Structure 1
Amino acid sequence: MRGGPGALFATEYHQGSGQLSREERGHRGDRVELGGIGVWSVPLRYGAKGEVVEAAAELESLGYSALWIPDVGGDVFGAATTLLKATRSLVVATGVLNLWMHDPADTANGFARLSGAHPGRFVLGIGVSHATSVDRIQPGRYHQPLAAMAAYLDALDTAKPPVPTSARVLAALGPKMLTLARQRAAGAHTYLTTPQHTQQARTILGADRVLAPEQRVILETDPTTARDIGRRHLATYLRLPNYTNSLRHLGFTDDDLAGTGSNRLVDTLVAWGDEDTIARRVGEHYDAGANHVCIQALTSNRDTFPRKTWRRLAPALTTAR
């Protein structure tokens, strides 16, 4: 596999002014090195604490450089703290914090606690989630997500202490949110996308921003078994307009998106096969412009830690960085 160069977060001064630009206002943040290959995992966020601690330590020993955890309820900063304490130098990132569920002042305080206790090891990923999820709790709250993100970033900039641009990334699919990620964050964390999207996102972000796509992987060579696992996982996402609209822009048809998805859709979104095949698929994101990729390992049981998959893939994914 062609190894990624790694993603470096650093706040830079506005050229020639001696001052921070508006996009970098707040304060200079610690440099955060994501490295080339990470792990995105639901069990690391919501699994039994004892196994979370064991798995995180093992992932670090296997050579993975970052852990990404979702936020669909509960104490996301507490979960990140558990992972940071279980490891020595590995980076932990939220993938992503749901801005509708967290007051920006609380988010800034949570970031300050983690970055103070573990300098250079925490990245704040922020997203706008989905109308169906947000409005289920408070009908009508999900409104103008791009403006909501900009306002949230304004609040993080003026919080005391602020959250530096250098330590935050935005969940972004479309060109407007990607542009905001270029202007107001260190870069973008993309989810349920393809190398084609990675190439498009890199063009919008420019050469100096972080681009960290998530890639689903299934260590299974039987097409029927792999596609069955993939379909069961994708079913939820195919009911969310944010994702289906993005996939249509990438050339998928209504037939591809119908039901549990076509073979073409599953095979494109999910890298399945042996270790070398998966490594090549991950490498396609690097070739398209990613400087960090986080794998989400899928198995027949979504609630278990896919530790065997992480172990078997580590040599192919980590040694070439």
Structure 2
Amino acid sequence: MTRLNLGPIGLTLDVRADGGHLDDAVMLEKLGYSAIWIAGGQLKTLDPLRDVIRATETIPVGSAIIPARVHGPGDVVELRRDVEATDPGRLITGLGGVHGERPLRTMNDYLDTLDAADPPVPADARMLSALGPRMMELSRDRASGAIALLVTPEFTAQARQTLGDEAALVVMEYVVLESDPARARDAAREPIGFLTQVGGYPQNLRRMGFSDEDIAETSDHLLDNVVAWGDADAVAARLKRHLDAGADQVVLSVQPATPDAVPHEQWRTLAGALIG
């Protein structure tokens, strides 16, 4: 399988009820970001993926991730069929959300159905959310690569070793464009604190060396190691560590200083610093 050709810097986009995210998508494409990603928690239906693709021209659009417990294989097959008919090659089908008993078997069964569909959703068009080594191996063997969130550059290097040279690796990174340590950590603490109690994230944080206290309290130590914060140069240096460790693309989840604000200015600043 040929390794996906992913540009270095993607960005997550929040879906807005007023449809303003479609204008935001156009802006991100013009700023030169490599891809737009939509988080799985916002995908109660798969329409936002179709809508963002149709609002833009050429930028790839990814799901991070389509939760398998919410959307069955038939939904994914229909989505890909629709998008390929009008915008071939632009959808990155990120899949995951199989926490619980026997997640590997559940994901294998899901992928079997995608393989058998008419038309299929082929391995080179899909990526898997992966943190543990066995899911990382499945991402290598049955998809075009892995999507990882809440990880350190050291994890990225280990993931690259597991994936080998052919599979792609996308790292999702929370970003706070703020140089004051207290304000930066405060901006990231709530979303990171939520994730530390969900699915496989606590277990993976322990594998990376964080203590139960770090996880329970969303400690400064944890935040400083899994969040890119500081001025644009500091953020760029952090992202470079992931890219140097083997990530094909780092996807920025920019946390605004004001809750619920859309970080247009931060997107522009980071584009100027990160995109040549």
* Inter-partner Cα distance in structure 2 for 1:126 and 1:241: 15
2:12 aligned with 1:40 = yes
* Inter-partner Cα distance in structure 2 for 1:195 and 1:308: 27
* Inter-partner Cα distance in structure 1 for 2:124 and 2:222: 35
What SS class does the counterpart of residue 260 from structure 2 fall into?
coil
* Inter-partner Cα distance in structure 2 for 1:180 and 1:32: 16
Query: Do the aligned partners of 1:33 and 1:91 also contact (CA within 8 Å) in 2?
Result: no
Q: Which residue of 1 aligns with 2:106?
A: 148
What is the RMSD of the two structures over their aligned residues, measured on CA atoms? 1.6
2:211 aligned with 1:253 = yes
* Inter-partner Cα distance in structure 1 for 2:87 and 2:104: 31
Structure 1 pair 79–249 and aligned structure 2 pair: CA distance change class (3 A): same
* Inter-partner Cα distance in structure 1 for 2:43 and 2:208: 33
Q: Which residue of 2 aligns with 1:16?
A: none
* Inter-partner Cα distance in structure 1 for 2:263 and 2:42: 22
* Inter-partner Cα distance in structure 2 for 1:73 and 1:143: 24
Q: CA deviation at 1:198?
A: 0.6
| Percent identity of equivalent pairs | 39
What SS class does the counterpart of residue 235 from structure 1 fall into?
helix
* Inter-partner Cα distance in structure 2 for 1:307 and 1:111: 30
**Unaligned 5+ runs, structure 2:** none
What SS class does the counterpart of residue 25 from structure 2 fall into?
helix
Q: Which residue of 2 aligns with 1:80?
A: 49
From 300, 306, 312, the counterpart of 2:263 = 306
2:200 aligned with 1:231 = no
* Inter-partner Cα distance in structure 1 for 2:43 and 2:229: 32
Q: Which residue of 2 aligns with 1:276?
A: 233
From 238, 245, 250, the counterpart of 1:288 = 245
CA deviation profile, 1:229-252 (whole Å, cap 9, x unmatched): 111221211212510110110011
Q: Which amino acid aligns with 1:71?
A: G
* Inter-partner Cα distance in structure 1 for 2:43 and 2:211: 36
Q: Which residue of 2 aligns with 1:65?
A: 34
Q: Which amino acid aligns with 1:210?
A: A
Q: Which amino acid aligns with 2:225?
A: T
**Unaligned 5+ runs, structure 1:** 1-10, 13-30, 131-141
Query: Do the aligned partners of 2:37 and 2:64 also contact (CA within 8 Å) in 1?
Result: yes
* Inter-partner Cα distance in structure 2 for 1:73 and 1:95: 10
2:274 aligned with 1:317 = yes
From 132, 135, 155, the counterpart of 1:174 = 132
CA deviation profile, 1:14-52 (whole Å, cap 9, x unmatched): xxxxxxxxxxxxxxxxx96431110023x2xx3134311
Structure 1 pair 115–32 and aligned structure 2 pair: CA distance change class (3 A): farther
Q: Which amino acid aligns with 1:202?
A: R
TM-score computed with the length of structure 2 as normaliser? 0.95
* Inter-partner Cα distance in structure 2 for 1:283 and 1:208: 20
Greater mean alpha carbon deviation, residues 215-224 or residues 110-119: 110-119
Q: Which residue of 1 aligns with 2:19?
A: 50
Greater mean alpha carbon deviation, residues 112-121 or residues 168-177: 112-121
Q: Which residue of 2 aligns with 1:138?
A: none
Query: Do the aligned partners of 2:4 and 2:167 also contact (CA within 8 Å) in 1?
Result: no
Q: CA deviation at 1:85?
A: 1.5
Q: CA deviation at 1:258?
A: 2.2
